Every structure is written in C-alpha cells, then in structure tokens.
C-alpha cells in the first residue's frame, strides 16, 4: 500500500514547514490528486490519520481535490480527459494516448495555527 508512504511524506513536509514557519498545529491539509495517480483517497485518508499521530498534523482535516486525468490522443490530436489508464479516447476510440496531466499529487495549502 503506497498510500502509507505518501501520507508519511505529507506529514514530513508538514513537520519541515512547521520548523521553518513556526506554527504549532495544522488544522486543514488540502491535497490535489490527479485522477490517473493510482492513489486511493480513502486509503490515503486512513493512512494520514495513523501517520499524523504525535505530529503537528494530528487531528488535521484532510481535504482531497481530484484533478482530471488528461491525455494527449495521437489518434485525433486532441487533449481529452479519461478516468483511468486503459480507457480509450472518448472522442475517437484510440488507445494511442500520452500522459498530459493528472498523474501527480501535491499539497495545495495548509491551514495552521
């Protein structure tokens, strides 16, 4: 389950930011996860809660925003959105697709005190 290591990375990032910006506690963590990132949002939330115990992020509310999975279709020379790898282009049916966004995960912002 790679969601555990992702959650651990987010908590480490929060701890680093707390040291640099002198905040005591995180109230809200807002993440953006691409539709094609292969991240289970429920599993990530569960792991985050477990990993955050004893850190500045303990008790923080995790808000996950999904970013569309964008691909470039070589069949119709168009950028299109898909929900998962293995799906054809919704415009022309081609499987000749290249990632064009939506495979990443990033922390958008933190609400701290």
Domain harbouring 97, CATH code: 3.30.2320.80
Among candidate residues 14, 66, 13, the one with its CA nearest the CA of residue 42: 66
User: Are residues 113 and 24 in contact, defined by beta-carbon separation less than 8 angstroms?
Assistant: yes
**Distance of alpha carbon 12 from its chain centroid, rounded?**
15
pTM, whole model, 2 decimals? 0.86
Number of domains in the chain: 1
Q: Is the pLDDT reported for residue 108 higher than 70?
A: yes
Q: Is the pLDDT reported for residue 1 higher than 70?
A: no
Instruction: Give the domain range for residue 20.
Output: 2-112
Look at strands 69-73 and 97-101 and give their pairing. Answer: antiparallel
d(CA 99, CA 102): 8
Element containing residue 81 per DSSP (H, E): strand 78-82
**Which segment of 6-10, 25-29, 43-47, 102-106 scores lowest on mean pLDDT?**
102-106
d(CA 89, CA 30): 30
């Amino acid at each position: 389950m790679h969601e555990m290591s992702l959650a651990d990375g987010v908590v480490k990032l929060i701890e680093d930011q707390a040291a640099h910006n002198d905040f005591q506690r995180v109230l809200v963590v807002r993440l953006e996860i691409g539709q094609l990132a292969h991240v289970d949002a429920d599993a990530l939330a569960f792991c985050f809660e477990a990993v955050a115990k004893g850190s500045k992020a303990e008790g923080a509310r995790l808000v996950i925003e999904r970013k569309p999975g964008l691909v470039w279709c070589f069949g119709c020379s168009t950028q299109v959105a898909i929900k998962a790898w293995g799906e054809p282009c919704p415009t022309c049916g081609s499987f000749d697709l290249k990632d064009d966004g939506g495979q990443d995960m990033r922390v958008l912002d933190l609400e701290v005190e």
